[in-house]
């Protein structure tokens, strides 16, 4: 059984989202069915492909590590924190930065998956990202808003910068 985080609302919410994703037994059929389902039930998590599910799971796992590191760091700031716990502050800050980087990298993979699906005429990941943003705003959960701010937003910025920088262009001129 998975380790459930009932004492931290954001982690509990992420666990619920993971369970909902796992319950999507089928591969998504076609973009029309997904779109109709998404439009008819806005609060339901949109169906996504198996590969997108795996990326979302890695995003949630990275977010969980980030929140755990943040929680540990906050414990070092407590007046009740012992000397040995306070000494771990620098290593915990590095752990948080690594977790942030992992979260952003997972989100970059998700945005790339959304772009790939868009090229194929599908909208599962795009619908999911829209749903996730709406869910973060609807619940006003700071953890979900953090995922948007430190994961998804920088992921879009990285993709935009890569496109502007010509990372996806190839030189098709003949070689001498």
Q: Mean pLDDT in the chain?
A: 82
Q: What is the pLDDT of residues 25-52, one digit of tens each?
A: 544 444 444 444 444 455 788 999 999 9
- Predicted local distance difference test score (pLDDT) of residue 168: 65
* Domain count along the chain: 1
Q: What is the pLDDT of residues 46-92, one digit of tens each?
A: 999 999 999 999 999 999 999 999 988 888 877 776 777 667 888 88
Are the beta carbons of 3 and 61 closer than 8 angstroms?
Answer: no
Instruction: Let me know if residue 71 belongs to a domain.
Output: yes
Instruction: Let me know if residue 168 belongs to a domain.
Output: no
Instruction: Let me know if residue 175 belongs to a domain.
Output: no
Per-residue burial over 63-100, b if 16 or more Cβ lie within 10 Å, else e, is bbbbbbbbebbeebeeeeeeeeeeeeeeebeebbeebb
Q: What is the pLDDT of residues 158-175, one digit of tens each?
A: 999 988 887 666 665 555
Residue with tokens 């030189």: 171
Domain range enclosing 70 = 9-156
- Predicted local distance difference test score (pLDDT) of residue 38: 43
Instruction: Let me know if residue 161 belongs to a domain.
Output: no
Among 153, 141, 148, residue whose Cα is nearest residue 11: 141
């Amino acid at each position: 059984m998975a380790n459930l985080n009932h004492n931290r609302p954001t982690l509990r919410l992420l666990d619920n989202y993971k369970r909902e994703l796992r319950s999507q037994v089928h591969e998504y059929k076609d973009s029309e069915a997904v779109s109709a389902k998404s439009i008819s039930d806005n609060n339901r998590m949109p169906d996504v492909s198996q590969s997108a599910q795996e990326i979302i799971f890695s995003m949630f796992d990275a977010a969980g590590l980030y929140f755990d590191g943040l929680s540990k760091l906050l414990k070092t700031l407590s007046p009740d924190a012992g000397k040995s716990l306070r000494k771990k502050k620098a290593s915990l800050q590095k752990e948080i930065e690594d977790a942030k980087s992992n979260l952003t990298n997972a989100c970059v993979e998700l945005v790339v998956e959304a772009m790939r699906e868009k090229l194929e005429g599908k909208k599962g990941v795009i619908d999911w990202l829209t749903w996730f943003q709406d869910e973060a705003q609807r619940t006003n959960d700071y953890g979900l808003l953090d995922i948007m701010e430190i994961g998804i937003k920088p992921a879009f910025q990285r993709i935009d910068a890569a496109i502007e920088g010509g990372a996806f262009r190839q030189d098709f001129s003949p070689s001498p």
